[in-house]
Structure formats: structure tokens, C-alpha cells
Amino acid sequence: MNRKLLLAFLLSASTLFSCSKKESDTSQSDGVYSLVKIDSFKVSRENKIRILDFQESRESFLGYDAIREEFLLLNKEGEVLEHVKRVGEGPNEYKTNLIAASFDRDNLGYYLLSSQEFIHYDYSWRIIDRTIFSSYYTVNLYSGPRTKVPYFTKEGDSGIRFFSSFFSNVGVHRFDLKDNLDEQKLIEYYDTNSEEIKWAMNLDLDFFSPSELDQQYFSPIQIYHLDQKENLLYLTFRNSNLLGIYDLNDDFKLLKKVNLEHSSFLKTNQARNVSLNKLGNGQLMLLYFSGKSEGDIQIETEKNPNYLAYQDPSCYRFMIIDSNSEEMIEIPFPKGVEPHSEILNFGKDSILLRDQESPNVEQDFSNYSIFKLNFVTP
């Protein structure tokens, strides 16, 4: 008998502001990596927005205003070119809370995903196709979509396959340790060819520590990047020191495991992986929270009673990973940037980050910075 697991994620509507132009460097014997701010823009809108995707061909961002429940089309300067609301019961509307949204693969419009519907819109926001499905796990995000739609296609196949309950940094699985864990399937996805839910990828216990596997219930939280061009899935977990690379063309076949060598990943500091992105040059960028000791947090709190380590950019680090050579190096997370918000990779070696808000200013706009990863040889 099916069971349903309902997860409610409530996100605040606070706005964010700050600017930082300081560069972060990390040296290697043969050169220096540098995360350099190359551009910035402001979105002048009363509510905080969330940028979900970037389309190279149109040089446009897809954003979402959770308060007005509106989708926004923005140019590279942050100007709102279009805003549209589709919540409702009409023929081109949807009723359920969305989890993800993105531009479509064929440059025809947009994909929207909830726990019950996969909707393909054209650029005029008229429905091209609507797929209704019933997921084993149900995920509700009351704040609206938080990520791009995790979908892929196989070579020589026109059908779409999308994850129906498998989202980065969103835990839905809960396994009883009495179960045979290494036989449990991890990924639930819908196949538009067969019009049914399918399961893939056995749970690999190598990714988890003995202490995690020793709890009464085991609830892994995945962190991944879905490479739609190369048809690869790069997967790790919140507390893992291992990265797996899987072939989507071959039913999620494991191609390689890469050992992650965090500089500081102490359990006592509540360290954890946060996000994983792949730049256009092929490098992976893993963001992780290194945390602080209780003593260091106490010192910071004495200086600032409102101090929270998880909001402190200095507690985060980017790990740059070459998935072929397995070489990796770390650089600090930029100051003045929000580590909990959007991290959107676009172009060859650039990422979009939201500027951190000022606690003393209430503004009606959102600031974003664009950083480029540079490598300079001596």
C-alpha cells in the first residue's frame, strides 16, 4: 500500500541587500584560483524574488515572486520584461504548489513542476501539454518553485524524464534500518514515453558514515547537479565525503566515485554540503558549510547578539573539483553574499549569487552579483 510523506517548506519573504567587490584567492603550486566579481544588477521590485534559470539564446533569466505568485522574465540588466500569474483553475492555469520551474530544452517556453503536474508552457504562457502523475512521495513548497526542473532525455529519444520527488537539498526518503538498505531505490522519476513512475539507483551505503546508518531511521538528504547536456548526474549527500558520477543514458550506471577532501568538515561544527553546480568549462563547484566551534560562536555572539553561524558567509567554502583528474582546491565564499539563496551557473565559468541583505535597510529591490572563476598561472 502506498504511503505519502508531506513536507512543508515555509520560506520568509524578507528582502536582501549588500555589495561586495572583494576577491577571494587560493594558491596552488602552479597557479591561483580567484573568484572575481565581474558584474551586478538590481531587480527593482517590491517583493523579494527568486531567480531560477538562465537561457543563453534569449539572454534572459526566469524569476519568481512568491508573494504575488508571478513568474518574471528578466534581461541581463535585471529589468522585468514580463510578469505573469497562472495560479487558478482556468485552462492555462495550475492549482498545486510548484516545486520547480525552468526554460524548456527546445527553447519553446517553460517547464513547471509540482508534486502532481508537469506542465509545458509556450512563451505566451499557453499550455502546450499537461502531464498528471501520482508520486509515491509528495513534496509541497508553499513558497513556490525553488529550483530548476530536474529533467533529462536519453540519446535518440524524444521523451522527457523528470524527477518527481528527488530534489537537491530536499529530503523526502525515510528508511527503516530493519529494511535491506542497499536494495532500496533512491530516485523516483516519471517517464513520458511509458507514462508511468519508475524507480532507479540502489542506495549506496558507501556515501554514509556508520553513525548515520546507526540511527533508528535513516533519512539521506541528496545534493546533486543534473548535467542535461552530457546526460550525467553528479551526486553527493549532506554529510558525505564522496561524490558519485552516474550515466543517465545507461539507467543511472555508476561511472566513478570521487573522494571529497574538505579542508574543514567537522561533525561537531555541524558541517554539511549545501549545493553542487557544474560550470560550462566542466569544473564542479561544491559549496559546503564548515561551521564554527561552540567557543567561537560564543565569542561572535558576545560581539553581536544576533550572530548565527549559518548566516555567516565566512563559514562557507567553495570546493573546485575536476571530475576527470579528481584534483580539488578550495576558495572562500565571497563576503557580502547570501549563502542560502540562489546559486545559478551560466556561461563558461560564471555564477550568479544574491547579495546579502542589510539588517538596517528595508528596500524594495533585490541585488545580485555575477562572479567569474579565474585561474592565473605564475
* DSSP string across 221-279: -EEEEEETTTTEEEEEETT-SEEEEEEGGGTSEEEEEEE---S---GGGT-EEEEEEE-
> In the chain, where does DSSP find H-type helix?
294-303
pLDDT(348) > 70: yes
- The confidence score (pLDDT) of residue 324 equals 84
- The helix (H) or strand (E) run that includes residue 353 is strand 350-354
Confidence of residue 182 (pLDDT cuts 50, 70, 90): confident
Confidence of residue 8 (pLDDT cuts 50, 70, 90): very low
- C-alpha distances (whole Å) from 237 to each of 2, 241, 244 are 26, 8, 10
75 is written with which cell numbers?
534581461
The pLDDT of residue 7 is 40
Global pTM reads: 0.89
More confident residue, 375 or 351: 351
What's the pLDDT at 177? 75
24-40 burial: b if 16+ Cβ within 10 Å, else e: bebeeeeeebbbbbeeb
State the chain's mean pLDDT as an integer. 87
Min mean pLDDT across 148-162, 175-189, 285-299, 328-342 is at 175-189
Distance from C-alpha of 121 to C-alpha of 125, rounded to nearest angstrom:
5
Rounded mean pLDDT of 179-198?
Answer: 91
C-alpha to C-alpha distance for 109 and 124, rounded to whole angstroms: 8
Q: Which residue has the higher pLDDT, 171 or 81?
A: 81
| Phi–psi pair at 337, nearest 5 degrees | -120, 145
The average pLDDT across 159-171 equals 93
- pLDDT over threshold 90, residue 175: no
pLDDT band with cut points at 50, 70 and 90 for residue 293: very high
CA distance 81 to 96: 26
pLDDT at 55: 93
